[in-house]
């Protein structure tokens, strides 16, 4: 427990005041909704590609490009960008503070907070891409992970850093699969506000979606390790590249279709979080 005279206390109190405001919770919920929309688009496009109806495999940046090309696209993307910014803010609060009173800091909490920080960084990049698209810029490459891998491989000890990054991403894969199996995410949802059937669907979408996302992370991590072994940054794959690899395998359309449905389920689960996410003590 933090002592009253702790130097951290003057910082935590203003944070609690900010996170207790209704606007902060609404912004965080909008963030989950925006994240859900992005994954819905990725999943639906990949599903269309799997069944051969004109879709394509893409990543989250590609999903933003799809939004901006629609009628009133820049207006819609502006709302999504605001949501992504809200999600980044929520992840930053989770990184540096304990808004949900999850307990004392230990090895598990440190790893968890590191994951929140990585999520915040990743979605900050996605928000910047969205801003560029709104301003009329192409928005950058769909697979920036390849450029970053090439950059790191050119640095001292870069090969080991890329390999470590790949192993960490594979670790995230395992964590997601374990999370899907245990379904502890149920504790984060207001299940008491759902009907019996809604609870079943929410948990089912969460399990299927988180497992599919974990499976994709496993592919991304494996290719990072391969890039480190071969010292070839072009071997790295992001979300869109991982889906493309799946499509190129034997029975690729079936495999891609299942994963695409899983990513679509993850998008739906994120939208469910936007409505029913439990913000303890906020």
pLDDT tens, position by position, 83-122: 999 999 999 988 888 777 766 677 777 888 888 898 999 9
According to DSSP, the residues that pair with 78 across neighbouring strands are none
Round to whole Å and give the CA distance between 131 and 279. Answer: 28
| pLDDT the model gives residue 106 | 74
Q: Where are the alpha helices (DSSP H) in 135-277?
A: 144-153, 158-182, 196-230, 239-247, 252-276
Contact (CB, 8 A) for 266 and 210: yes
Considering only CA atoms, which of 153, 125, 139 is closest in space to residue 234?
153
Round to whole Å and give the CA distance between 26 and 24. Answer: 5
Considering only CA atoms, which of 168, 174, 180 is closest in space to residue 114?
168
pLDDT tens, position by position, 223-236: 999 999 999 888 89
pLDDT tens, position by position, 146-194: 888 998 998 888 899 999 999 999 999 999 999 999 998 998 899 999 9
Structure tokens belonging to residue 6: 């702790």
DSSP assignment letter at 70: S
Contact (CB, 8 A) for 213 and 256: no
Structure tokens belonging to residue 234: 């072009």
| pLDDT the model gives residue 52 | 82
Sort 42 into a burial class: Cβ within 10 Å, 0-12 / 13-18 / 19+: buried
Round to whole Å and give the CA distance between 192 and 11. Answer: 33
Q: What percent of the chain has pLDDT over 70?
A: 88
Considering only CA atoms, which of 204, 30, 197, 195 is closest in space to residue 123?
30
Answer whether residue 279 shows pLDDT above 90. no
According to DSSP, the residues that pair with 277 across neighbouring strands are 189
Q: Count each helix (H run) and each strand (E run) in the chain, helices first.
A: 10, 0
């Amino acid at each position: 427990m933090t002592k009253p005279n702790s130097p951290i206390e003057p910082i935590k109190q203003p944070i609690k005041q900010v996170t207790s405001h209704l606007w902060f919770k609404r912004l965080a919920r909008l963030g989950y909704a925006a994240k859900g929309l992005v994954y819905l688009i990725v999943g639906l496009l990949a599903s269309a590609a799997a069944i051969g109806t004109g879709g394509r495999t893409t990543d989250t940046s590609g999903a933003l490009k799809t939004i901006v090309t629609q009628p009133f696209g820049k207006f819609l993307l502006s709302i999504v960008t605001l949501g992504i910014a809200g999600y980044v803010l929520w992840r930053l609060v989770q990184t540096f503070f304990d808004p949900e009173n999850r307990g004392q800091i230990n090895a598990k909490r440190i790893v968890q907070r590191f994951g929140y920080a990585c999520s915040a960084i990743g979605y900050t990049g996605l928000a910047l891409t969205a801003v560029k698209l709104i301003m009329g810029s192409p928005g950058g490459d769909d697979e920036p992970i390849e450029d970053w891998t090439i950059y790191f491989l050119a640095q001292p000890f870069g090969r080991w850093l890329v390999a470590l990054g790949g192993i960490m991403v594979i670790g995230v894969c395992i964590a997601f699969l374990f999370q899907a199996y245990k379904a502890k995410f149920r504790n984060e949802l207001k299940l008491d506000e759902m009907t019996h059937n809604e609870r079943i669907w929410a948990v089912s979408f969460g399990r299927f979606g988180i497992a599919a996302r974990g499976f994709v992370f496993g592919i991304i991590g494996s290719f990072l390790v391969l890039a480190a072994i071969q010292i070839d940054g072009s071997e790295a794959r992001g979300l869109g590249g991982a889906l493309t690899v799946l499509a190129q395998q034997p029975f690729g359309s079936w495999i891609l279709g299942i994963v695409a449905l899983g990513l679509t389920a993850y998008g739906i689960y994120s939208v469910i979080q936007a409505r029913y996410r439990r913000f303890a003590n906020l």
